[in-house]
Amino acid sequence: MTRQAERAQELKFKRASRRRRLPLLARRLIALLGGLFLLALLGWGLHRLFFSPVGRRAEPASPLARILRLRPPLREEKITISLGQNLAGLLAGCGFSPVEVDRLRNDVRPVYNLDSVRAGRELRLYRGEDGRPAFLEYDVDERKFLRVRPEGAGYKSEILPCAVETRRMRIQGVVEDILISAFNAAGEGDILALDFAEVFAWDVDFYIDLRKGDRFNLVYEKIFRGGMPSDYGKILAAEFWNQGKPLQAFRFTYPDTGRSDYFDAEGKSLRKEFMKSPLKYGRITSRFTSSRLHPIRKIYRAHYAVDYAAPVGTPVKATADGRVLAAGWNGGAGRMVKLQHKGGYQTMYLHLSRFAEGIKAGAAVAGGQVIGYVGNSGESTGPHLDYRITQHGKPVNPLGARFQPAEPLRPEFRVAFDSQRAALVQELNPPAPQAKPIWPFSHLKKGLFAGKSPR
């Protein structure tokens, strides 16, 4: 057979083989499709058996589930109350007519005066599918809220408790620049930092005494409303290492009087005769000196005071318990408060923008109480507080004075205090989690019991 004939025979054989294979492929495809159909049929049958009302009796829905299913969904509108905004204007913007506003105000008045809503608070209005108000809510404070809903031709209102939870928390951190930044880095807010500064305000001026590397550690209460953090409670215990010097504070409440204070581990009060500073934060721009160029009169004269630069409106605190001698305008001092304290001490707070409520001659004040607000009144080149101390008429340097501690812990409560302090120390310094012990040759035993050769 010639080569050409052999080639023709080979091609004929391949075509025949291909024709024989086609029916086989078709049969396999049909079998596959049939199998898939049977699986689908089986799945449908199982579904009807186990999940349909025929195959399985449906459980009756709970009353709550039925209510939720039948009640139309509500749409929530949140309105933040602006400064100077009244109720009529607020509700008018929500579609209430003047007549409806008056009716709502009058119906709710026996429960709550809606004219006393506060700026910054939130009003929540819930509407149904038809757009009509279903009810509205207003947070009276952190622990209760007002709910108002239409009823008949008027409105029904009630004060309800918020779902408030107080948790004990612990944080620690290191100061890099300012205290607030350190607390923020530890995951907490400015308010907790300011509360912490207030605990140690009798020993530390947090503007001039703070150093990079200072450390803090505290146990405190955090208030959650509706599962979300909303406020801080009390600082229960705190440690602060300032310039290498350790300070401790433990809160203790006297059972007989209910008065609370902070004490160190020995039961000495953290309170002193005077606080280190009348401001939580303020930059010192001028110190106590016998000669200084007056910024306005341009003459050299004594400046027996410490000047703190701070924004207008910053709260100014009395640095000790006392009584108001004067609160008013005093020439170049501008608006000034003058306090009398025991031991012949007097303190003066100059250039205020305004006085705190109730601050007038004869009024008693407590150390740490707000008496006024930083301003720029009188002979002043910018917002600041001029703070002065005298004893029997002689000037005292507020930054250099050393004052005695207040009354220590009462002896009859020492046992109770020590017990509470020991528990707080454990919270401040919880034991480190123990590492799982590694026994000698444990890796060999594991390999042998697993049926594997140790490597």
CATH 3.10.450.350 fits 170-271+410-455, yes or no: yes
pLDDT at position 192 is 93
Rounded Cα–Cα distance for residues 329 and 341 (Å): 21
pTM across the whole model: 0.56
Q: Is 189 helix (H, G, I), strand (E, B) or coil?
A: coil
Cα dist. 143→105, 116, 159, 167, 232 in Å? 22, 17, 10, 15, 13
User: Which of 93, 88, 101 lies closest to 77 in space, CA to CA?
Assistant: 93
The mean pLDDT values, 10 residues at a time, for the chain of 455 residues are 50 46 58 67 55 39 34 69 74 83 88 80 80 82 83 88 88 94 92 91 85 96 78 94 95 93 94 85 71 57 83 92 95 94 94 94 93 92 92 88 83 96 95 64 48 44
Residues 204/207/213/216 CA torsion (nearest 10 deg): 50
User: Which of 191, 193, 255, 174 lies closest to 229 in space, CA to CA?
Assistant: 191
pLDDT at position 238 is 98
pLDDT at position 183 is 95
pLDDT at position 60 is 38
pLDDT at position 224 is 83
User: Which of 316, 307, 421 lies closest to 365 in space, CA to CA?
Assistant: 316
| 58 torsion bin: left (phi>0), alpha (psi -120 to 50), beta (else) | beta
CATH 3.40.50.12780 fits 283-396, yes or no: no
Q: Which of 3.10.450.350, 3.20.20.140, 3.90.320.10, 3.40.50.150 would CATH assign to domain 70-161?
A: 3.10.450.350
Rounded Cα–Cα distance for residues 384 and 313 (Å): 10
